[in-house]
Amino acid sequence: MAERVRLWEDWKFHLGDVADGGFMGMDDRAWRTVCLPHDWAVEHPFDISHASGTGYLPGGTAWYRKHFTLPEETVGKRVRMTFQGIYKHARVYVNSHFLGSHACGYTSFTMDLTPFVRPGENVIAVRVEHEEVADSRWYTVSGMDRDVLMNITEMNAFEQDGIFVTTESLEPDRACLRIRSEILGEGRCVCTLREEGRIVAESEDGGTGESRMEIRAPRLWHPDHPFLYDLEARLLDGDGRVMDTEHLSVGIRAFRFDPREGLIFNGEPLKIRGVCVHHDAGCLGAAVPECVWRRRLEKLKACGCNAIRTAHNPPDPGLLHLCDAMGFLVMDEAFDEWEGIKNKWWQGHNVYPPKHFGYGEDFPEWHVRDLTGMVRRDRNHPSILLWSIGNEIDYPNDPYVTPLFREVLGNNDAGKPAAERVYDPRKPDAGRLVTVARELVDLVHAVDDSRPVTSAMSFPELSNRTGFADTLDLSGYNYREQFYDEDHRLYPDRPILGSENSHAPEAWYAAEDRKFIAGQFLWTGVDFLGECRGWPVRISQAGMLNLAGFEKPLYYQRRALWTRQPFVRIAVGEGESERHGVWDEHFRWSGSPGEARRVSLYTNQSHCRLFLNGRLVGEKDIGPRDGCRAVFEIPYEEGELEAVAGDARDQLRTTEAAERISLNALKDGNIFQVELELQDMQGQAAKDEDVFAQVLGDAEILGMENGKPDDLLPYPEKHRMTWDGRLILYLRVRSTSQLFVWTRSGLTETVGLEMEE
């Protein structure tokens, strides 16, 4: 029988290179002990000498070592180890033997340890090299930030990611699943499908590597009701003995992208209401436990979101499992650059000159393995709707150029020097993208013939002319709503999707009003480290949720646009920002008497009223194209704002000093997320204070995050200022413990961190 072990505890870690780090007999007892996932970058101070694009955090070279024991019964068995993500340029050794290397920091890879392991003690050693931090346009990670899994089977076993299940046909009363299996050695594959523990179908591979399974009255997977079946695949020898077993969650669904009707999902039109997400969680870096994503996804689901785009790299598999279970469609993205390396900002966004490091250096050698590996790993997830082979690969002059446009700016080129805007024949020609795209699309189709392939294009007005768009099954448009109608007329047989869009309501209406547009993906769902404007800001503020996972005013505008349950929410600002009027708003009523304040009411109701200390100060009708927002300019006056919209109400009182600390502990396995809010006498968020934290018991504080863009306090510190009265603490707990928090003003609170026996 197969045995799968998650190797997450008791890794030895050393920051810096070691000459004999791969030697089994090396004495590593003095090395630090860490748990996986682990990201060493966030353990260090922010420093302006590092790259602004990656959040002013360091890289370097480091070693990880893990001692593990195998029993005598392992002899004659196959032992494989899967690394779900190491950033980056990993070199792997076992028992002093070099197994190989892996360049990409986002793709999973599996190594066969069988010839080199033995009963008793074994040592796996991993060298991680991330010396140049200006290698991305957003925060990456430094370290082993995803799970490591050991798989022990008979020598005859399923290939890694060798089971592939698809919905071959779907009718009102029946469905047919196609099951493909790839085997190391010999054997036959027998599959059993269960619905809530009850067997509903079985199939057996007769030796062709393919079988089919019919399900009567199937329960369908849909974002609104994501039902999952359990599929068990068993590899049997000639005597019927089980040599290997795989378990998969299976969602039965059928969909197509129609060039005139948009997305048809299980026979009905479905508009994609999506968000793009990067992979970090602030103080945790990219070593993000699954439950942190669950909390974020629950909030996104509540505002009407039904889709996630993994910008701009293969995600942690845990995120995809959550999308399957919670009902999110997924656009799974492979690359942000191909052969041409994009500009990497290191002293502020669009501050020239850039640096030029990145995956483009590894693409020629690694892209086939990375792309096919991503699709093989992820293809059984029912949530995945699209494969994206690249993000803004066609970005103008970065680096690809064309004589068709003498001068052009991209969607993010404010302040670009004139010399960087114009055609330069010495740069890579955009025609090359067509050749590479054809290869990538063919690679995906060879591994998965059940889903379309797209690319998020930043320059469709060129890519439609070069033939790049013709290589794709579906055209993704980034911030190009103005071309929807004309391109639909010119290319009537081509499905179109808003693959990246601003929060502007007009961008949503452009998709909502056109059946042929499948939907949109907002930039972004959650704030993220890096891609910042310059010191001291360390993050991008483009999200609906802040870096601590708390809702921003943008969130409530989107909830009003995407949901129908009546509500109203008050937010306050101090003047319209140039690009996004709600980015500078917050949930505080404060100021000096008579100071001008912009009060926004976000609601899905058609009429709203605003009261100040019981007096009506304004009321407005909200039309169908007003962005679900009513704006009032009023002078500040101490007291209470109240908004009324239909039966919905919201209040906001003058912000006062904190009188108590509220703690809400969310437990998932051995990880606790503790939401902290300083509250005044009225129970609303209070004025900010520095909060200190300590644990009693076998527990550790993984980090404290407030989401404040310019908070440069090093993450290892066990205190942090609240922002808008809130922050979140992440803890790993091994036994029942207590968390103590306190402020300089004398407020204290404790919460028990209970562990089941």
Q: Which residues, at least 6 apart from 330, have a Cβ–Cβ distance to it below 8 Å? A: 307, 308, 309, 310, 320, 323, 381, 383, 384, 385, 386
Question: Using CA atoms, how far apart are residues 394 and 479, in angstroms rounded to an integer?
Answer: 13
pLDDT score for 578: 40
Task: Return the bridge partners of 310, or none.
Answer: 277
Are 691 and 664 contacting, i.e. CB atoms less than 8 angstroms apart? no
pLDDT confidence tier of residue 511, bands split at 50, 70 and 90: very high
pLDDT confidence tier of residue 581, bands split at 50, 70 and 90: low
Q: What is the DSSP string of 11-34?
A: EEEEES--TTTT-TT---TTSEEE
Q: How many CA atoms lie within 13 A of 361 on its CB side?
A: 10
Are 535 and 348 contacting, i.e. CB atoms less than 8 angstroms apart? yes
Q: What are the φ and ψ backbone dihedral angles of 477, each rounded to 5 degrees?
A: -110, 125
How buried is 57 (Cβ within 10 angstroms: 0-12 exposed, 13-18 middle, 19+ buried)?
Answer: buried
Whether 65 shows a pLDDT value over 70: the answer reads yes
Q: Tokens at residue 658, please?
A: 């904190």
Question: Using CA atoms, how far apart are residues 625 and 87, in angstroms rounded to an integer?
Answer: 45
For the segment 110-127, what is each residue's pLDDT rounded down to a tens digit?
999 999 999 999 999 999
Cis peptide before 37 (omega within 30 of 0): yes
Q: What is the DSSP string of 73-117?
A: GGTTSEEEEEES--BS-EEEEETTEEEEEE--SSS-EEEE-TTT-
Q: Taking the chain, what is the end-to-end CA distance rounded to the nearest angstrom?
A: 28
Whether 2 shows a pLDDT value over 80: the answer reads no
pLDDT score for 757: 58
Please tell me the pTM assigned to this model: 0.96
Nearest to residue 139, comparing CAs of 52, 248, 211?
Answer: 52
Identify the DSSP state of 686.
Answer: -
SS3 252: coil
For the segment 520-546, what is each residue's pLDDT rounded down to a tens digit?
999 999 999 999 999 999 999 999 999
Q: Tokens at residue 257, please?
A: 């992208």
Question: Using CA atoms, how far apart are residues 328 and 222, in angstroms rounded to an integer?
Answer: 9
What domains lie within the chain, and their CATH numbers?
Answer: 3-153 (2.60.120.260), 157-236 (2.60.40.10), 256-540 (3.20.20.80), 566-653 (2.60.40.10), 660-753 (2.60.40.10)
Whether 208 shows a pLDDT value over 90: the answer reads no
Question: Using CA atoms, how far apart are residues 45 and 42, in angstroms rounded to an integer?
Answer: 7
- Mean pLDDT (the chain) is 96
Q: What are the φ and ψ backbone dihedral angles of 643, each rounded to 5 degrees?
A: -110, 140
For the segment 311-358, what is each residue's pLDDT rounded down to a tens digit?
999 999 999 999 999 999 999 999 999 999 999 999 999 999 999 999
Question: Using CA atoms, how far apart are residues 120 and 29, in angstroms rounded to an integer?
Answer: 19
For the segment 373-414, what is each residue's pLDDT rounded down to a tens digit?
999 999 999 999 999 999 999 999 999 999 998 899 888 888
pLDDT confidence tier of residue 575, bands split at 50, 70 and 90: low
Whether 435 shows a pLDDT value over 70: the answer reads yes
pLDDT score for 580: 46
Are 112 and 31 contacting, i.e. CB atoms less than 8 angstroms apart? no
Q: What are the φ and ψ backbone dihedral angles of 747, each rounded to 5 degrees?
A: -75, 140
Average pLDDT, integer, range 672-690: 96
- In 10 A of CB 711, how many CB atoms? 20
